[in-house]
Amino acid sequence: MGIYSEAHICQCFSRLVTQKRNSVVTISCGRQKTGQQLVECVLSLARSLLQLGLQNGDVVAISAFNSDWYLEWLLAVAYVGGIIAPLNYRWSFEEARIAMVTTRPKMLVTDESCDYWHSALQSDGILSLRWHVSLSPPSSDFINKYNILTMAMLVEQSLRSGSMNYSFAPEGAVVICFTSGTTGKPKGVVISHTALIVQSLSKVAIVGYSEDDVYLHAAPLCHIGGLSSAMAMLMVGACHVFIPKFEATLALEAIERHHVTSLITVPAIMADLISSIRLKQSWKGRDNVKKILNGGGGLSHNLIKDATKFFPRAKLLSAYGMTETCSSLTFTTLFEPMLEASGTSLQMLEKTNSSPVKSQGVSVGKPAPHVEIKICMDGSSHVGRVLTRGPHVMLRYWDQIPEKASNSTEAWLDTGDIGLIDDHGNIWLVGRTNGRIKSGGESIYPEEVEVVLIQHPGVLSSIVVGIPDSRLTEMVVACIQLRENWQWSYNSSKHLFQSNDLFLSSEILHYYCREKNLTRFKIPKKFILWRIPFPQTSTGKIRRDQVRREVMSQLQSLASHL
């Protein structure tokens, strides 16, 4: 059984059925389950999957809102030696179809967020799919028409027959978590049991998670941050509180009602929480929350200040990482209530632990205990590519041949970031080699947006960049060059549906992106008319950094005149 890995995420079951046997460990949609009940539900589902015919190494794709059922599916598929492939419910069907073509799943599990995918697959099918499952209660007509299985059907099929033991998929793989490749299309990252467990242990050690925690799932389980934090909470036996998807009012209500002690955020989530708290007449959850871990981009100074005001008892940390490294590589503490109470200011703490090279980048803290990081310098400069290796690194990309994938404990992974390590061991990020934009916790590649925009008959060329934004971390901005005879209108909503008019505007391009099924968070927030040639290098490559600086300058100049 341990031929590929000695670590399995279901090894936490023994803790759940002993120490948490009668304690509530999941709260979701009016359902509450104890540790014993959770494990029994997972094992029942695992038996059903085996009896159905799911085999070792088979891929199960799932796209759904957060819930206890989602967590149970993750664990049940892992238990029988399958590989779970969480798809983003925010994707268009075309994006989901590409991901399924790549991973060749045997089963697709959905809920009301994207049940329509099953009908869409009838005309554009995935040949590998044998079973379709819906977590939401679909109509009998829907079940019969598309041969849908439901949770009730699977539970009925589960027969208690002998003892079961968990098994491993080839390579010790357990999850295919999707990120964007250089083309912006979904790219499957193969994560091992070992990677998830060492990542969980680092979060337990650094953030301080324990069995007394009540954890709010504010991040989607299809993202590596939400997934890895869920595993950490399972390992310590904490209580999971699920809301279908993040909405500030729902999150604040859950914090108050269930006495939530910990959650993870991205800057957009934190900004929305703070905005909603300001609108409340009284905020009863301020003393409940003890731990907040932020990822997906650094928090602005104002967000940190507000977070410490509205969550005064919470240890506030920020993490830097990526899907290919199973989430967090480094951690930094932004606010520590114990230090504040003892009179030790964070400003003094930062001064003693930080390098003076602040002008060269942003500090993301020190590596987690299991993480090895080095800077690959191209010359005499102390700045270079950030590389990492260790058990946290992905096994490979899914479409990469296993035999040609480097051993993750020996080979260095290029993170795509440029940075340095100061004398105190802090990692500083200077920039990104690939121009990736991080907006609202999501990765966006400019090329994908540009490909959509260039299809419009009025667009000659476009360059998409990310500019700093206090709420989103970065805001997507598109610079547009018009074709001959086309005009730019700053107020042309009247031209929106008149395709014969040679007018373009922000509204028209925004609507066009939606028509082309570009995912909403990838659609530029601002469109800027670019009247001169785009700056290029001597080899003809676009200078995105120069475009970005010019855009920031234009927007700052515009803001100063308002």
Structure tokens at 136: 């939401």
Cβ neighbours of residue 245 closer than 8 Å, sequence gap 6 or more: 65, 66, 89, 113, 220
Q: Do 77 and 49 meet the contact criterion of CB atoms below 8 Å apart? A: yes
Same domain, 187 and 63: yes
Same domain, 360 and 491: no
If you write DSSP's letter for every residue of 351-363 in order, what string do you get?
HHHS-S-GGG-EE
In a domain? residue 238: no
- Residue that finishes a domain, picked among 193, 218, 248: 193
Residues (pLDDT < 70) of the chain are 1-5, 159-162, 180-186, 339-361, 378-381, 403-410, 431, 491-500, 537-541, 559-562
In 48-127, the DSSP E strands lie at 59-63, 83-86, 107-110
Same domain, 61 and 168: yes
Determine the structural domain holding residue 364 and report its residue range: 354-432
- Residue that finishes a domain, picked among 130, 161, 193: 193
Total residues found in the chain within this entry: 562
Distance CA 454, CA 518 (A): 13
In a domain? residue 319: no
Same domain, 399 and 424: yes
Same domain, 450 and 549: yes
Would you state the pLDDT for residue 470? 86
Distance CA 230, CA 232 (A): 5
Would you state the pLDDT for residue 162? 63
Same domain, 362 and 482: no
In a domain? residue 328: no
Q: Do 554 and 476 meet the contact criterion of CB atoms below 8 Å apart? A: no
HSE, side-chain direction, 13 A CA sphere, residue 385: 11
Can you say whether the dihedral through the CA atoms of 173, 266, 315, 70 is positive or negative? negative
Q: What share of the chain is helix, strand, coil (3-state, %, to 5)?
A: 35, 25, 40
The H-or-E segment that residue 116 falls in is: helix 116-123
Distance CA 540, CA 157 (A): 62
Distance CA 522, CA 530 (A): 20
Would you state the pLDDT for residue 14? 94
In a domain? residue 43: yes
Same domain, 74 and 153: yes
Same domain, 549 and 468: yes
In a domain? residue 236: no
CATH number at residue 40: 3.40.50.12780
- Residue that finishes a domain, picked among 397, 432, 467: 432
Would you state the pLDDT for residue 2? 43
Same domain, 427 and 442: no
Same domain, 22 and 99: yes
In a domain? residue 279: no
Same domain, 470 and 493: yes
What is the number of structural domains in the chain? 3
Same domain, 143 and 121: yes
What is the dihedral angle through the alpha carbons of 128, 130, 134, 138, rounded to the nearest 10 degrees?
A: 120
Q: What is the pLDDT of residues 541-553, one digit of tens each?
A: 678 888 999 999 8
Coil vs helix vs strand at 414:
strand
The H-or-E segment that residue 134 falls in is: strand 131-134
Give the orientation angle of helix 93-103 with respect to helix 116-123, to 10 degrees: 70
Coil vs helix vs strand at 397:
strand
